Amino acid sequence: MFWIIRWTNAQGVDQSIVLEARSKVVAETIALKRDIPFVIIEEASDADVAEARESKRLWCHTREQQRTCFGRPVRTGQLVCLMLCGIWTIGVLLQTAGVLPTFMRLPM
């Protein structure tokens, strides 16, 4: 769960960060440990997370999945399997269209 921490620095400028924590108490503890004089700690909205990600103010400890398929995370073995299925499908389509030479025919 993401939490947004808002505070005002010594110059009077409002600042905020978004961090990943299990609960509000953990987010408050992280703020105290980092010596952030927080004013408000609340659940972060999707817009807050997107803004913090763009401005490099997002603190998270879990890795984001780099590979996705249809919006779901995909492991390396699954990715290899999907790629092989795609290559085999292209080979079958080329063979049925008669584009492959006779020495490259796929056994069926």
Judge whether residue 89 has pLDDT over 70.
yes
Q: Which pTM was predicted?
A: 0.57
| pLDDT at position 106 | 59
How far is 8 from 38, CA to CA, in rounded Å? 8
pLDDT band for 108, please (50, 70, 90 cuts).
low
Calculate ∠ Cα 75-76-80, nearest 5°.
120
Domain positions in the chain are 2-59, 68-104
Judge whether residue 85 has pLDDT over 90.
yes
Chain segment 27-80, per-residue pLDDT in tens: 999 999 988 888 999 999 999 999 999 999 988 877 766 888 888 888 999 999
Name the residue among 37, 36, 52 with its Cα closest to residue 4: 52
